[in-house]
Amino acid sequence: MSNSDKALSFAIKARAGTARAGLLRTLHGDIQTPAFVPVGTKAGVKGILPEQLRALGAQVVLANTYHLYLQPGEKIIEEAGGLAKFMGWEKMTEDGAKHGPTMTDSGGFQVFSLGAAFGRTITKIAKGEELTNEQAENRRVSVYDEDVQTKHGQLAVIDDEGVTFTSHLDGSLHRFTPERSIEIQHALGADMFFAFDECTGPTEPYEYQKEAMRRTHRWALRSLKAHRQNLAANRAQSIFGIVQGGRHEDLRSESAQEIASMDFDGFGIGGSFSKEDMHGALEAAVKYLPEEKPRHFLGIGEPGDILTGIAQGMDLFDCVAATRIGRHGTIYTKRGPINLTNEKFKNDFTPLDPEVLVPGTESFTRGYLSHLFRAKEMLGPIIASMHNVGFIIQLVDGAREAILNDTFEQYRADFMRDYYA
């Protein structure tokens, strides 16, 4: 396929050390990078309308393959004209073009979450020590809690061909293979999507991380083949391969070299780090990825982690944290996160963050949101979610401008000093 036929192009416009600012072009619009990608898991960013997302500065949104496969089903979304149109993100421009870049993940992390990790608080950033082989094996066998058992018992079983799992909605039995994940994502119609992978828990032992990583490599080849063989999808959509390997630098390096050798349009870095290991594991992976292709840091949304990723040369970031913590009363501020349900904010009539004014939320005070949360008014979570998404977008936009101005390291140092003081 010639460059002119590709559904995606990427050009680096400026660098500041290993950080880079670029232009990512899709058939449904351009994306200035680095960029934060709000997550609309079920084809909707919780509490935020598409036009509000645009006003906040969002350039692209990401939805979840696993959830959309189960409900409403990929065929319904395909019949509706694809993900962007279905969720109201698609917008006609003055010249008649359809605008609204979208992404989908492969569903791998969600299937994993319903297996060994179901019923536990699992994130892609590790909390706790690495498990022993025996502990990990016991946990992988006992993959359900009594309160969430289904008629099929075990919720997810991984083998070399794919994953058999039960729906968290009704207990029905399903199976994902790399080929099936790609088929679903073709129907969803996002501009960019990810190869099917096994996303392990951050505390899984080294030997299992290696096993899962190499299975991910085999699945990557199968995902890529399934995409390239669909000529229509190949002209309209782009596929990203995913680097795995947990917190281990040697595995990350091995995975990055293997995935980089494949003809992907872009690359994702899977989670499963500890905070302490993130920098090293990310650095070990990024140096092997092609400079001329975009890189996405999957599931990373903590402000400091995003800046770390940008410093290491990552271009795109997605995470549900902004809306998730917002729904529970916590907002980001330049001086660190605050929980507005705390007593001290009842009489605080200052802006949500005097230093970061977010479009659509500028007129609201901390005291007002504190009232809304206490009164259980749905407007509280909506405003807090909008503020948080806007805060992260402004943070990343500022980083991009700093890269263009060659002041990124100072920008990052100033933010980290204030936010984590």
Contact assessment for residue 305 and residue 389, using Cβ atoms and an 8 Å cutoff: no
And the tokens for 389? 């998404």
β-pair type (156-158, 163-166): antiparallel
Round to whole Å and give the CA distance between 268 and 105: 10
Round to whole Å and give the CA distance between 238 and 318: 17
Amino acid at site 281: A
104 φ, ψ (degrees, to nearest 5): -130, 145
Contact assessment for residue 388 and residue 326, using Cβ atoms and an 8 Å cutoff: yes
pLDDT one digit per residue (tens) for the chain, 421 residues: 444 468 999 999 999 999 999 999 999 999 999 999 999 999 999 999 999 999 999 999 999 999 999 999 999 999 999 999 999 999 988 888 899 999 999 988 777 665 444 443 334 445 455 555 444 443 433 233 333 343 334 578 889 999 998 888 888 899 999 999 999 999 999 999 999 999 887 788 999 999 999 999 999 999 999 999 999 999 999 999 999 998 899 999 999 999 999 999 999 998 666 677 788 889 999 999 999 999 999 999 999 999 999 999 999 999 999 999 999 999 999 999 999 999 999 999 999 999 999 999 999 999 999 999 999 999 999 999 999 999 999 999 999 999 999 999 999 999 999 999 9
Tell me which DSSP letter residue 372 carries: H
Round to whole Å and give the CA distance between 5 and 7: 7
CATH number of 36-325: 3.20.20.105
Residues taking part in catalysis: 105, 318
What are the residue boundaries of the structural domains of the chain, listed by start?
36-325, 334-419
